[in-house]
Amino acid sequence: MSETRIYDVPREWAEEAYVDNSRYQAMYEASIADPEAFWGEHGKRIGWFEPYTSVKNTRFAPDVSIRWYEDGTTNVAWNCVDRHVAEQGERTAIIWEGDDPSQSRHITYRELGTEVQRFANVLKGEGVRKGDRVTIYMPMIPEAAFAMLACARIGAVHSVVFGGFSPDSLAGRIADCTSTVVITADEGVRGGRRIPLKANVDAACAKTGGVASVIVIRRTGANVPMLAGRDHFYDDLAATVSDECPCEEMAAEDPLFILYTSGSTGKPKGVLHTTAGYLVYAAMTHQYVFDYHEGDIYWCTADVGWVTGHSYIVYGPLANGATTLMFEGVPNYPSVSRFWEVVDKHKVTIFYTAPTAIRALMGAGEEPVKQTSRTSLRLLGSVGEPINPEAWEWYHRVVGEHRCPIVDTWWQTETGGILITPLPGATRLKPGSATRPFFGIRPEIVDAEGKVQEGACEGNLVIADSWPGQMRTVYGDHQRFFETYFSAYKGKYFTGDGCRRDGDGYYWITGRVDDVINVSGHRMGTAEVESALVAHEKVSEAAVVGYPHDLKGQGIYAYVTLMAGEKGDDGLRRELVAWVRKEIGPIASPDLIQFAPGLPKTRSGKIMRRILRKIAEDEFSALGDTSTLADPAVVDDLIANRQNKK
């Protein structure tokens, strides 16, 4: 960390990008000095049915209320589709690249308009009305985007659930927002393997009541059981409806979507985003951070089941009239050159992926990259977790051939869009740093007592004022919203991340400071994995922590105490891994399981997670004070039986 290389902004970038450094400084200062004026101006980038007169009405204390553009009305689907059909209907909106390299599709804005309207009519036919929640459990096929936009068009609130989640996880999310309609596919296809999505929906519906309609897209044509009266193939419904459906006029603060995300305690929270502020922020960050210009072919490799897919595959790019690539597959199928082959095939100019993918591909060496041309690329992006400088350098040197700036974008499901990031024409890059705040963002670093730190410092990252893309509430639990994000530091949004600021004012995210771990860019609550483990009949107690993992960033380390008489062996390890996969999904699989006769607890019975974290991190010398433990001897046993990293 002491010696950091600095990459200057390439001259042509400073000249041709939307913003160079002096413009960044001026715009940033203006955005902080007068947020009303700044966002009042930038709100005009989207189209409105009724223009707004109020811009910002937000407070973080004594309670939380966040409203942007509140008297304006608009519609997200109108902005992402209709507006462009009128001006550039023949432009490609979505390039779909299938898991199988021989399959791809180009969908123009005009075609997108037809598909979205037809889908909207299908939803109406199934009884969906403004304000209703619709769960979307889909593979990465264009119909996922059609479904999201169809909901937006009629004012329904979508809840997209990542296709890798288990039936149990899906059931919990359906129940939490009381969706009566679920949209899915017969099967998904990833890396040559089939994913039984419809079967998972059936299993979820068996766990939770209330689903009246399941709409099934035919992806593979597999023969899936269909429950009469409840299940319908999309094709059959679509054949009976018109492809014209007017847009619902939505108030700026009407809900757009719910997305469930893990926290440090309890079940996943339904993060609620609303209409206008979210769209303004997603579109504006997409334009400036990726320096999106007409003619760019933009590819974000995320899944629409995560916020990155919402903001930077669907809403931001489409609001800007961009061509967005949607990829069904995985980075290493059929070969580890796949990403770069897709870049060449579709002449991708902007490529946005996660550090975990870069690290995995780095492991396969330079040859699979060098076999491809990649000359179309002009900008690279990173998201989801801190990118280690080695991976950054490899991405820059091997993938981008020193030509492409890298934007390391820090943000969260809660923030709706990117908050801390380089702007490629403005920001000198330091590998591993997300660099500087986007317009309107006021990051601060506070100590444990909430005292704001100045200059170069390290502490907890908070944001001092609202921005239009911020989440508005936890669905159905506004009190939890307040307590989770606004109670630790009065009047400030607490991110849950630790952060260092260097002498140049650059931000370096150091990772979560709460009981959330980041596995391959996927967020996981340790409490969720623990509760899955203790639900197993042989487990009496479990404590889960993260540990450094070469490929995943963090791995999942589980300490498990068994019921009396049970024997901990590799067979049971396998059984528990399979159990957690079934309970939550493959992304929650423990990497290492240590059977522990006892866990380190205080005399009042609280598990000392700090000690467990240190043991998992192999930092035995840094255990700190263990004298307050009820039974200090358990620590020696834990150290002696530490599981080895894979």
Give, for 327, the enclosing helix (H) or strand (E): strand 323-327
Site string for ligand WT7, 429-468 (x = CB under 6 A): -----x----------------------------------
Among 142, 386, 416, 555, binds ligand WT7 (CB under 6 A): 386
155 is in an annotated binding site: no
Q: Which amino acid is at 98?
A: G
Regarding 300 and contact with ligand WT7 (CB under 6 A), the answer is: no
> Least Å distance between CB 312 and ligand WT7?
9
Is 13 one of the annotated binding-site residues?
no
Q: What is the maximum span of the chain, computed from C-alpha positions, in angstroms?
A: 73
Q: Does 307 interact with ligand WT7 (rule: CB under 6 A)?
A: yes
Pairwise CA distance, residues 119 & 105, whole Å? 18
Question: 155 vs 468, which CB is nearer to ligand WT7?
Answer: 468
Write a three-state SS string for 330-379: CCCCCCCCHHHHHHHHHCCCEEEECHHHHHHHHHCCCHHHHCCCCCCCCE
21 is in an annotated binding site: no
| 537: CB partners within 8 A, 6+ apart | 563
- What tokens does 640 get? 């002696």
Q: How far is the CB of 433 from ligand WT7 (least distance, A)?
A: 9
DSSP 45: G
Only one of the segments 97-105, 128-136, 397-405, 407-415 lies at the binding site for ligand WT7 (rule: CB under 6 A); that segment is 407-415
Number of neighbouring beta carbons within 10 Å of residue 2? 3
Instruction: Please list the helix, strand and coil fractions of the chain in percent, rounded to the nearest 5, in that order.
Output: 35, 25, 40
**The token pair that represents 301 in the structure block:** 């490799």
Instruction: Please choose, out of 335-343, 399-407, 509-517, 528-536, the segment that lies near ligand WT7 by the rule CB under 6 A.
Output: 509-517
* Residues 36-65 interacting with ligand WT7 (rule: CB under 6 A): none
Residue 290 as a binder of ligand WT7 (CB under 6 A): the answer is: no
Q: Between residues 220 and 510, which has the closer beta carbon with respect to ligand WT7? A: 510
Q: How many binding residues for ligand WT7 (CB under 6 A)?
A: 22
Residue choice 38, 119, 165, 410 for contact with ligand WT7 (CB under 6 A): 410
Distance, CA of 481 to CA of 474 (rounded, Å): 5
The response to whether 539 counts as a known ligand-binding position is yes
In the list 121, 166, 169, 261, the residue contacting ligand WT7 (rule: CB under 6 A) is 261
**Smallest separation, CB 522 to ligand WT7 (Å):** 7
190 is in an annotated binding site: yes
**Interface mask toward ligand WT7 for 211-250; x: CB under 6 A:** ----------------------------------------
Nearest in space to 280 (alpha carbons), one of 55, 20, 57: 55
Question: What's the closest the beta carbon of residue 412 comes to ligand WT7, in angstroms?
Answer: 4
409 marked among binding-site residues: yes
Residue 180 interacts with ligand WT7 (CB under 6 A): yes or no: no
User: Which one of the spans 51-59, 129-137, 151-159, 405-413 is the region binding ligand WT7 (CB under 6 A)?
Assistant: 405-413
Residue 161 corresponds to which amino acid? Answer: V
Residues of this chain, 462-501, that bind ligand WT7 according to CB under 6 A: 495-497
- State the Cα–Cα distance between residues 182 and 159, nearest whole angstrom: 9
Q: Say whether 570 counts as a known binding-site residue.
A: no
Q: Which stretch binds ligand WT7 (CB under 6 A): 73-81, 92-100, 138-146, 511-519?
A: 511-519
Q: Give the start-end residues of each E strand in 131-282.
A: 133-137, 157-160, 181-185, 188-190, 193-195, 213-217, 231-233, 250-251, 255-261, 269-274
Residue 372 marked in a binding site? no
- Residue 294's identity, in one-letter code, is E
Pairing of strands 65-68, 73-74: unpaired
Closest approach, Cβ 256 to ligand WT7, in A, equals 17
Q: How far apart are the C-alpha atoms of 273 and 256, rounded to whole Å?
A: 6
Q: Cβ 489 to ligand WT7, closest distance in Å?
A: 16
Asked if 506 interacts with ligand WT7 (CB under 6 A), we say: no
Stretch that binds ligand WT7, among 289-297, 345-353, 410-418, 578-586 (CB under 6 A): 410-418
Q: Is 22 annotated as a binding residue?
A: no
C-alpha–C-alpha distance, residues 109 and 540, integer Å = 56
Q: Which stretch binds ligand WT7 (CB under 6 A): 176-184, 382-390, 439-447, 621-629?
A: 382-390
For residue 75, say whether it is annotated as part of any ligand binding site.
Answer: no
Q: Is 410 annotated as a binding residue?
A: yes
Report the C-alpha gap between 262 and 516 in whole angstroms.
7
Q: Please, what is the minimum distance in Å from the beta carbon of residue 461 to ligand WT7? A: 9
Task: Identify which of residues 149 and 383 has a Cβ nearer to ligand WT7 in the complex.
Answer: 383
- Please state, in angstroms and rounded to a whole number, the distance separating the CA atoms of residues 154 and 169: 27
R_g of the chain computed on alpha carbons:
24
Q: Is 579 annotated as a binding residue?
A: no
Which amino acid type is present at position 332? N
Torsion over CA: 207, 208, 210, 215 (sign) = negative
Which two tokens mark 196? 């039984």
Q: Which of 135, 213, 308, 435 binds ligand WT7 (CB under 6 A)?
A: 308
* C-alpha to C-alpha distance for 500 and 508, rounded to whole angstroms: 5
408 binds ligand WT7 (CB under 6 A): yes
**Cis (ω within 30 of 0) for the bond into 196?**
no
* 443 cis-preceded (ω within 30 degrees of 0): no
Whether residue 314 is annotated as binding a ligand: the answer is no
192 annotated to a ligand binding site = yes
Cβ nearer to ligand WT7, comparing 495 with 643: 495
- Angle value at C-alpha 63, between 472 and 71, nearest 5 degrees: 50
Q: Which of 412, 453, 626, 641 binds ligand WT7 (CB under 6 A)?
A: 412
Residue 115 in contact with ligand WT7, rule: CB under 6 A: no
Stretches 2-10, 67-75, 508-516, 591-599: which one binds ligand WT7 (CB under 6 A)?
508-516
Helix (H) or strand (E) holding 597: none
- The encoded tokens of residue 310 equal 């919402």
Please count the other Cβ atoms lying within 10 Å of the Cβ belonging to residue 399.
25
| Of positions 156, 215, 280, 509, contacts ligand WT7 by CB under 6 A | 509
As a whole number of angstroms, the distance between CA 231 and CA 181 comes to 10
- State how far the Cα of 111 lies from the Cα of 84, in Å rounded to an integer: 11
- 413 to 432: interface string for ligand WT7, x by CB under 6 A: x-------------------
Helix or strand or coil: residue 314? helix
Rounded CA separation 262/173 (Å): 12
Residue 405 binding ligand WT7, by CB under 6 A:
no
CB of 330 to ligand WT7, least distance (A): 18
Rounded CA-CA distance 5/582 in Å is 44
Q: Which residue has the tokens 């700044």?
A: 38
Quote the least distance from Cβ 150 to ligand WT7, whole Å. Answer: 24
Detail the residues annotated as belonging to a binding site for Mg(2+).
534, 536, 539
Detail the residues annotated as belonging to a binding site.
190-193, 308, 332, 384-386, 408-413, 497, 512, 520, 523, 534, 536, 539, 581
Binding site for ligand WT7 (CB under 6 A): 261, 307-308, 383-386, 408-413, 434, 495-497, 509, 511-512, 518, 523
